Chains A and B, each alone.
Chain A
């Protein structure tokens, strides 16, 4: 794979995947801020990714946008580009590149678990697999999300006088959590922080029913939030904004919440282990299913996955991509 370098730049067509600095040609796997940056000249992405980028960065955040649907190969100067759903958030894609009989698949951020708010993951065969490794340690084994939703519903029953303030990423996690609650029959109004509004509306327009949402404004009394669910970006949980709630139960929906000491550090009382990334078992089952002989590991805890691959006779190495540190943020 001498035609793609370690900065994920596809040399024959001078195109980069999820570049962190403005470039001539970029393929964007999904609209999270650490993958989609504004300022590129030409962007190739899914329809949803492009639309969400425009909502977040403005209509002109790139000079040209080109949409590509799933399963529809596009030939650019001898390099065949095909998108397959990554199941991470709405619009997220894997990128399969074929050049002179060589097949490389970039998973981008992905999860295999079913998610009603996005196109679900599809396995892809390839020679070289570039896989993410956000949860690339065997301690990460995400439970069934329904089990976690039950925990939340149970807590609302047990603490009807305390608002349940849940930290969620504004794009993807918030909408998925709402959808999971709705699927469980929770039909009360769910309150949201202003930062979540635009993306929630976009999901609704895209045909994902999220039920009754309302901004968490203080119009009536503070106690109106008792026993209610309020979603906010994690940063807002520690800001003055959160002072409008009396004695809230702090919660955070994230794959990191499996580590109790981590939850405790972030003052979370009700950890919800709901992740939009593959856990250890999904990471290794995807490596197996891809039939790839060469594995490149990026974006997370690479060492363990590289070790696991090598033990099974696969060629594997870590790709450290600039701008993706392991500070423990799951986006």
Chain B
């Protein structure tokens, strides 16, 4: 535990990417199994201790520390693990066990014993070790080390390519004994079971019209960027598994989607709800997400289907090293053959010039169905992550509205202690009503301005929330506007973000809510 807590402490304070890689590599090379494998699992978000949750951790700390003093401290620090590490009131002598021993003990604790065990550890640990323990329990380290960087550090100073790691990664499990043997002791490459795992998706870079002159149109194809959720489908043995973009298994949420084929097929597509392959607006799909039970009403009124973009595996063959055009040909043949009523092919556009594509977009784009266009290089191989130069997303221009800052709250992680989470509103007769929250889209200088404004213009405090003087106007960009029963204003903005600060603009020039609805809600 000592070494691991020192490692993550050094990592959070190190700026240089290369130094981070060296620190990690040094740790992995010089730490014994299974500790290093467990550390790898923690750093990549693959270690979850059951029987403990963030709310339970908060409950636990409030048994030992005055709850009000804890809340004030937590609000100030903005990071649960750090707050607990700093505020923990006991300090006892005791031997700090190895990481693997601690994780064993935690994993084998019942939900009634686990908090007692955690308290025992907190009391014998140093501040740094307490911090590491709570990070490990709560997941999400927020120390400026991505999963990708961790994987790169493993293969640092070896001949192994990152793509080799990515391809097998989801088939590996902590404590990764075979993986370390392969990398550090010249062992054999670990074998994985393809049909059981999620294969990380290939993502695109944003592009705008002005960037087109740098690209040769003849090397590209285009297709709609459907406004649903990106999924990966793994078909095998008459079964189907549906993974979200982040690799969560969401099959149970869409039980109507079935497969009767035996062959292994891995597909990439967009999940939508609608009728006869015509999608409904996104907010209909949203109602089906994150639900434990699927209601009959939802199944009947909002049935799901998938627009297929790509194919990754076919009959045990990995197609990812083929070009996009070739993969689409295989996808087309397969789709024609199986005739599955849940799968539709996403239409492909060929074009000779960019003007042609701009034309297609202006004539055929339907804002309630399409988020924009995807532009894909014909010969692009399928690479997990966001490789440069292969795929581009050409999104619709966002909608914008000027709104007034109403409330602010401190942020978390690297924004802890800054007032960086804001609520914005519009006029409703002579008062201002909230329309959205936004907490990104600004740069560091703008954040300084916003933070300073909040501190100097607070008129009321509600716990951690500050109400501010209604005089700071900000331009909000958003993707669409829907009616919503959940919000006081009756509307919900999709993906709101701060586009520009408009301190120059007087509050009385901000529009009222009725006008706002009229202007935008038809999209």
Convert B71-86 into 0s and 1s, putting 1 for each residue whose CB lies closer than 8 angstroms to a CB of A: 0110011110011001
Report the minimal beta-carbon distance from B307 to chain A, rounded to whole angstroms: 42
Given contact pairs A138-B65, A139-B77, A261 touches B82 in the complex (Cβ within 8 A): yes
Bound Cα distance from A307 to B66, whole angstroms: 10
Inter-chain contact B13/A264, CB cutoff 8 Å: yes
Report the minimal beta-carbon distance from B234 to chain A, rounded to whole angstroms: 39
Inter-chain contact A268/B13, CB cutoff 8 Å: yes
Given contact pairs A260-B13, A264-B13, A303 touches B414 in the complex (Cβ within 8 A): no
Convert B279-298 into 0s and 1s, putting 1 for each residue whose CB lies closer than 8 angstroms to a CB of A: 00000000000000000000
Bound Cα distance from A260 to B417, whole angstroms: 12
Convert A138-182 into 0s and 1s, putting 1 for each residue whose CB lies closer than 8 angstroms to a CB of B: 111100000000000000000000000000000000000000000
Report the minimal beta-carbon distance from B374 to chain A, rounded to whole angstroms: 36
Inter-chain contact B414/A264, CB cutoff 8 Å: yes
Chain A residues with CB under 8 A of B66: 138, 307-308, 311
Given contact pairs A138-B69, A259-B77, A264 touches B87 in the complex (Cβ within 8 A): no
Asked whether any CB of chain B lies closer than 8 Å to the CB of A59, the reply is no
Asked whether any CB of chain A lies closer than 8 Å to the CB of B14, the reply is yes
Inter-chain contact B76/A139, CB cutoff 8 Å: yes
Mark out the residues of chain B between 37 and 54 whose CB falls within 8 Å of any chain A CB in the assembled complex.
Answer: none
Inter-chain contact B82/A265, CB cutoff 8 Å: no
Convert B156-179 into 0s and 1s, putting 1 for each residue whose CB lies closer than 8 angstroms to a CB of A: 000000000000000000000000
Mark out the residues of chain A between 250 and 287 whose CB falls within 8 Å of any chain B CB in the assembled complex.
Answer: 258-265, 267-271
Asked whether any CB of chain A lies closer than 8 Å to the CB of B416, the reply is yes
Chain A residues with CB under 8 A of B12: 260-261, 264
Inter-chain contact A326/B13, CB cutoff 8 Å: no
Given contact pairs A260-B131, A269-B15, A311-B66, A328 touches B417 in the complex (Cβ within 8 A): yes
Chain B residues with CB under 8 A of A327: 452, 455
Asked whether any CB of chain A lies closer than 8 Å to the CB of B456, the reply is yes
Report the minimal beta-carbon distance from B453 to chain A, rounded to whole angstroms: 12
Interface size class of A (residues with CB under 8 A): 20 to 34
Report the minimal beta-carbon distance from A116 to chain B, rounded to whole angstroms: 26
Inter-chain contact A139/B416, CB cutoff 8 Å: no
Inter-chain contact B417/A139, CB cutoff 8 Å: no
Mark out the residues of chain B between 412 and 441 whose CB falls within 8 Å of any chain A CB in the assembled complex.
Answer: 413-414, 416-417
Asked whether any CB of chain A lies closer than 8 Å to the CB of B144, the reply is yes
Give the nearest-CB partner of A256 in chain B.
B417
Convert A298-331 into 0s and 1s, putting 1 for each residue whose CB lies closer than 8 angstroms to a CB of B: 0001011001100100000000000001111000
Given contact pairs A261-B82, A269-B15, A301-B76, A139 touches B87 in the complex (Cβ within 8 A): yes
Convert B58-99 into 0s and 1s, putting 1 for each residue whose CB lies closer than 8 angstroms to a CB of A: 000000011011001100111100110011010000000000
Asked whether any CB of chain A lies closer than 8 Å to the CB of B9, the reply is yes
Which one of A140, A265, A301 lies within 8 Å of B414 (CB-CB)?
Answer: A265
Convert B107-150 into 0s and 1s, putting 1 for each residue whose CB lies closer than 8 angstroms to a CB of A: 00000000000000000000000010000000000001000000
Inter-chain contact A264/B417, CB cutoff 8 Å: no
Asked whether any CB of chain B lies closer than 8 Å to the CB of A137, the reply is yes
Inter-chain contact A325/B455, CB cutoff 8 Å: yes
Inter-chain contact A263/B13, CB cutoff 8 Å: yes
Inter-chain contact B73/A137, CB cutoff 8 Å: yes
Inter-chain contact B417/A303, CB cutoff 8 Å: no
Inter-chain contact A139/B73, CB cutoff 8 Å: yes
Report the minimal beta-carbon distance from B61 to chain A, rounded to whole angstroms: 11
Give the nearest-CB partner of B68 in chain A.
A307
Report the minimal beta-carbon distance from B419 to chain A, rounded to whole angstroms: 11
Give the nearest-CB partner of B19 in chain A.
A269
Which one of A263, A265, A304, A325 lies within 8 Å of B73 (CB-CB)?
Answer: A304
Residue contacts A-B, CB under 8 angstroms, 17 given: A137-B73, A138-B89, A139-B73, A139-B77, A140-B86, A259-B417, A260-B12, A260-B82, A261-B12, A261-B414, A261-B416, A265-B416, A269-B13, A304-B72, A304-B73, A308-B66, A328-B417
Task: Give me the 5 closest cross-chain CB pairs, A-B, nearest first.
Answer: A139-B86, A261-B416, A139-B73, A304-B72, A137-B73
Known: A261-B12, A261-B413, A307-B68. 14 other contacts (CB 8 A): A137-B72, A138-B87, A138-B89, A141-B86, A259-B82, A261-B416, A265-B417, A303-B72, A304-B68, A307-B69, A308-B66, A325-B455, A327-B455, A328-B417
